[in-house]
Amino acid sequence: MNTIDLEVQGMSCGSCVNHVTQALKPIPGVTDVAVDLQSGHVRVSGSLDAGAERLVSALSDAGYPAKLSGASALTPIGNGPSTHPKGSRGGCCGSCS
């Protein structure tokens, strides 16, 4: 079993934790997702043959910019500002800041 640690931006409440978990759990090989809301870290465990790229992509698609823990720059979401319906606040419910 492999473990990948990610730094995730935009998480600010329990709803964000649920969105992040729901974005990662369906990825083949993911067996566990542990979110630490306070630190902004997510630990993903399983047989992660595709590596971190697929995890980061799924989080970006959900509106949460992410990078490998210890990496120097966030993986870009795309060109220009976020196109997520909730704006640049991540996938949050919109009720928190």
CATH number where 50 lies: 3.30.70.100
Cα–Cα distances in Å, from 10 out to 13, 47, 50, 62?
9, 27, 24, 11
Q: Would you say residue 7 has pLDDT above 90?
A: yes
Identify whether 95 is part of a domain.
Answer: no
Structural domain of residue 23, as residue ranges? 2-89
CA distance 86 to 10: 11
pLDDT score of 92: 63
Q: What are phi and psi of 33, to 5 degrees?
A: -130, 120
Q: Would you say residue 10 has pLDDT above 50?
A: yes
List pLDDT tens digits, range 56-79.
Answer: 999 999 999 999 997 534 433 333
User: Into how many domains does the chain fold?
Assistant: 1
Residue 1 banded pLDDT, cuts 50, 70, 90: confident
Identify whether 96 is part of a domain.
Answer: no
Q: Where would I find the H helices in 1-97?
A: 14-24, 52-61
Identify whether 94 is part of a domain.
Answer: no
Identify whether 57 is part of a domain.
Answer: yes
CA distance 49 to 70: 20
pLDDT score of 93: 63
Identify whether 97 is part of a domain.
Answer: no
